[in-house]
A and B are shown apart, each in its own frame.
Chain A
């Protein structure tokens, strides 16, 4: 009871507690995560809106800037287109002077309606337009002839100067064309900055990047065609579009596009998603942390509350039950609370009171029984002693008579004395048994351990019992296991008593056949085995044969002398020697009693 409690009960208690705690914590966490996801989605959505608005603004102002810049340049080109042809032909430096006033242009030319150049000027670069030999087939020329101004693609001159061809109708029915320096436009674009990573660039309707803060992007002929999701901007109505995507450089961005008025261009404004969603990520950490803290807190609080409210009282109850169970019947729980646990405690106290009353009654009954038993033993011992004294006298005189101490006896007299002798001896033996039983029950038997030779014990037994067996026509056999140590530790007198009892019983109940005694060595014991070919003991009777005053059945009792104490004594002596007694028996075939005894009995433990 004492050692069975500690490992099992706390584990059960903790299991229940941790289960309750985890279930509660999980519920709280789940709710937290659901709410957190909802909040984050909301934050993300509103952040996206906010950034889109910010980018819309940036894109709008950028498109205005670019538009205004292009307007100025085109206006300047238009001025060049309005100059009188004869003036320009007569004074070639007019064009040069005009060009020198605008650093955004690299070259300006005037052409007649057939594409022949009649006035030209360039600065900072080689002349390109005036050297072209495909002018009549050029798109810019043909388009301007039809009255529409033209903004071309980004091109590189032979000196790697990037430019765009601008062309417009001239007032005289010809065409004015110019080359726009790209770096000026690029500067305009690279000035557009917002947030930390926000940038803008211009893409034409074919997906070519026209202007970018990094000139190399344009010089490398970069297009957005490799990014189909960006191509959606080109298809979007009026080129107004917003999305999150990977841009042509592979960066994850939030992008917004707007058209640039009067052009084939649209402006992309992009901000990295890392920046755009920084707040979302922050709130993700915040909410995640909160959920974690909350979950931990709820877990701990639940734990604490459960312990305070339930587990400590339950433990107290448990300890109380244990103390009461161990016999401390005066122990009472403190009933501190009126709740269910308090009620259980009160009921427990009530129960403990009842147990105490019952225990007292039981103790009284036991004391009475003990007293009766002691009385019986004393009586038995005294009576036996008192009986033995006169019996010994009777035996002595009968013996003397039988030995003709009082003169010769007639045959009848001799028979009578013989009978007196036999019955007196039997009575003395019977009283001896009773005395033994009483002494064992009174706990007055002490074993006298000393070395002895089992072979001697067996030889004595053979000497004593062979005659008895032969008288009933039985054979008596003995055998000894050679592996058995020649000397053993034990109380030979008590061992002999055990053997005598068993052998006498065997001879007594066996009608024909044999009785055998065998000593042998078992794995951990040495064994005295007594077997017979007697009637056997029915299985249902076997559990009771070692009870005092018990015999197998009434008929045998009547036929055979004895009061049924032999086996009881055998069993009690065996257990005093820390041995075991085994019985195997089958009705009609015989019985075998095995006494298993420890090879080295521990001294001092025989009380």
Chain B
């Protein structure tokens, strides 16, 4: 049953096909890097010795000593200008971080966040380092240059702001259009739900593969594309336009309205115990906090916001608001604004829906699988478009381009790792060599694409390259200062161990496929068929 007229169907097909073709290669890059970025925390820990990303993202703060005496002692050495706000949180390397915030005009006359940043041992609260100055002058937290590179590639294609965000926003929008047009175009979407790809012709097989993957991925394809486009456009277009509309162009005022600092009437002479507040909040929620914010801290906190990670089964964390003077519980703080609202509830969904980090490793595995499925949808769509035009010589180059991109994106990400690990081990500039590894492997693949014109030969070379790169990556990590498997087991870092094994499993799987090794006897009867690939 067709819901739309023939002419409209043709237009929608043109939209679905051409937008996917023109931007599909970039979209594939975004989707694949996105699927990898879901595991940014785990991959950071895997790639950078000394990092423990779980300390920040998946576990509450480890508060082994009372915070109040530490806070009081630190604030004695911090000037009043930095006491607009205090934030207490964990760090990538498992240390505790206490930051005093203020605002001041920098050399360019622009108001910028100023900080006094303390890094402390979580067990003894001994101050390990102290930095003071503008936010832009602060040393970056411990990081993995490899994962920073891949995540930034996903967020803005490493293009300068705002152009990079515009590009990724447009790609997200294209995917929204593709999912909606695909839904309208697929006339038998429910009855075709279980129709496995037919073998009567290569073109039909390609079409069925694409539509089947697209149909099942439709809900999350739309959600991920919509939320991704939102994130790209929110700061670049949304904030300036809404500031213009509602606050005469004052973006600071807009941010203040959406994310206000709660001002609570001060009780003179009273200072509540931060430790009692934390204990009360933890008892209410059932887990220890992940971070604490003291607003307008000036020896007497006006408000204390205690943030907790999502409870088991939940999506969003819980933030409890307290009177800093009396320690009295005020309310559960909404995601944005001062009062719970429909807008705040909706806004709170965007992050979890896009990042998939609300349920620990389980939700990340599901989101990673969704990303892989969407990557397949994108690539199979490109393949279908090219196969429909296989008889036209002008499109032969596009076929090779699709093959090159399909294998090339993961190979270049592994190329980035090939630049990163040696640089890390040899104490070179890891960011520089990571980028060089990526660009170098991309350039090598382009040269390969130019020299090797036959699709079958190109595919074969790329497959062997991928198998080799997968097999060598854990070896590189281990050879250049990464934790050995024994050390990982001692640190109870099962995830990093599993990541190493997954690389090798991937390489072995590829090898088995390439060599056509049958691991178990096939029971299916050989039918008349055309190879799908």
A and B: real partners?
A: no
Interface residue ranges, A against B (CB under 8 Å): none
